[in-house]
Amino acid sequence: MTERPSSLPQRPDPRSTPAARPATLPGGPSAPGPEGDPLSDVLRTVRLTGAVFFDVRASDPWVAEAPPARAIARHVRPGAQHVLEFHGIVAGACWGGLVGEPPIRLEAGDVIVFPHGDAHVLSSAPGMQGSVDLGFYERLPQMRLPVLVQEGPPGPPSAHVVCGFLGCDLRPFHPLIAALPRVLHHRARDAGDADWTAALLRQALVESQSERAGSGSVLTKLSELVFVGLVRRHMETLPPGASGWLGALRDPVVGRALALLHERPAHRWSLDQLARAVAASRSVLAERFRAGLGIPPMHYLTRWRMQLAADLLERTPAGIGAVAAEVGYHSEAAFHRAFRKIVGVPPGTWRRRRGIGTG
């Protein structure tokens, strides 16, 4: 990443492994994007992809139970490390929630997301139990999408639901998913006239039913927008002092520190220098960072560098040494050690397992 001039003293330490140098690989940490925006950075590097698969028309009484996402991931989002499911209520109303837990009333314009891929139920009334047909998901790759699903007996529909899946990478470092609750519920009535989620869902349904060129890409982006909008709204409703990654982004000290680490990941940061950059003492930054995220700032930086490196190893043919330099390591051996410690395998092994030839 191209470094900006800084008034902070730059004293190279030959004992330090990370090197402050500009990024040079196409699509590397210096790729265009919102400056100092960790949420955008994470979403960009974990390969968030999605699509709308089911167009559900339901008439009372009806119930539909979804299995844990890990049981169907290879059918709905092949190659994704993690799958989450979302349901948008286009018209009518229903109930939805985790299996075995109290359901939530869902109305037109609402969206419910299960970020951790838990088994869940949608139904016309609370307390109903359904059954899971894994064979249905196994046949999904051969079906014409979106799949029109009729739930309940013949009759006027009481609910029109759009169902989709989002895939993403969890390894080596994805702080967002861990920071989200098991259920993320967007209430359209709470958003008022400013809500655009329902419009996105309607457009996603139109695109999923069309055969226009580029429809698949449009669907992916629309699904991503729905999810990002819900995450942003959830973040805005967190109380002051909330722990976790999203809460930390709102902390004036920790949030600024995270922004700097994401903006300049290859820089030779030290705790003292980072503290001066955010106008806090070393002890205050360390204490608040650990309280919010559970790890020290430099440990976070190492994990984020490994996430960037893993993304580069998969998306580019660059050699290991070039990737190491891109994320701030002038020693390829030191990069190997750090990558293996965080990821569990050497960088070359990671690349081969992800289907890319060695660089």
Domain assignment of residue 298, given as a range = 244-353
* Per-residue pLDDT tens digits for 258-291: 999 999 999 999 999 999 999 999 999 999 999 9
In a domain, 173, yes or no: yes
φ/ψ bin of 227: left (φ > 0), alpha (ψ from -120 to 50), beta (otherwise): alpha
Same domain, 333 and 288: yes
* Per-residue pLDDT tens digits for 100-123: 999 999 999 899 999 999 999 999
Percent of the chain at pLDDT > 70 equals 86
Please give the pLDDT value at position 358: 44
Closest by CA position to 336, among listed 351, 320, 325, 356: 320
End-to-end CA gap in the chain? 21
Quote the DSSP letter at residue 271. H
Q: How many domains does the chain have?
A: 2
Same domain, 114 and 210: yes
Same domain, 275 and 248: yes
Unique residue bearing structure tokens 């994007």:
33
Among 183, 213, 236, which residue terminates a domain? 236
Same domain, 232 and 303: no
Same domain, 104 and 176: yes
Residue 213, SS3 per DSSP: coil
Question: What is the token pair recorded at 67?
Answer: 């299995």
In a domain, 34, yes or no: no
Same domain, 206 and 63: yes
CATH number at residue 287: 1.10.10.60
How large is the average pLDDT for residues 211-235?
81
CA atoms within 13 A on the CB side of 354: 22
Please give the pLDDT value at position 193: 54
pLDDT tops 70 at residue 29:
no
Among 236, 259, 277, which residue terminates a domain? 236
pLDDT tops 60 at residue 15:
no
Does an H or E element contain 114, and which?
strand 111-114
Quote the DSSP letter at residue 158. S
Please give the pLDDT value at position 100: 92
In a domain, 63, yes or no: yes
Cβ-based neighbour number of residue 73 at 10 Å: 20
Q: Are 201 and 88 in contact (CB under 8 A)?
A: yes
Same domain, 225 and 300: no
CATH number at residue 159: 2.60.120
Same domain, 229 and 119: yes
Same domain, 84 and 219: yes
Same domain, 210 and 310: no
Same domain, 295 and 319: yes
Please give the pLDDT value at position 194: 56
In a domain, 28, yes or no: no
Residues 6+ apart with CB under 8 A from 310: 169, 171, 172, 339, 343, 347, 350
Q: Are 50 and 144 in contact (CB under 8 A)?
A: no
In a domain, 222, yes or no: yes
Sign for the pseudo-dihedral over CA of 279, 283, 286, 292:
negative
pLDDT class for 338, splitting at 50, 70, 90? Answer: very high
Please give the pLDDT value at position 31: 43
Residues 6+ apart with CB under 8 A from 303: 172, 173, 295, 342
Same domain, 323 and 182: no
**Amino acid letter, residue 233:** R
pLDDT tops 80 at residue 349:
yes
In a domain, 14, yes or no: no
More confident residue, 211 or 297: 297
How large is the average pLDDT for residues 227-255?
89
Among 202, 218, 236, which residue terminates a domain? 236
Prior bond to 146 cis, omega within 30?
Answer: yes
* Per-residue pLDDT tens digits for 125-171: 999 988 998 888 888 878 877 788 999 999 999 999 989 898 888 88
Cβ-based neighbour number of residue 299 at 10 Å: 14
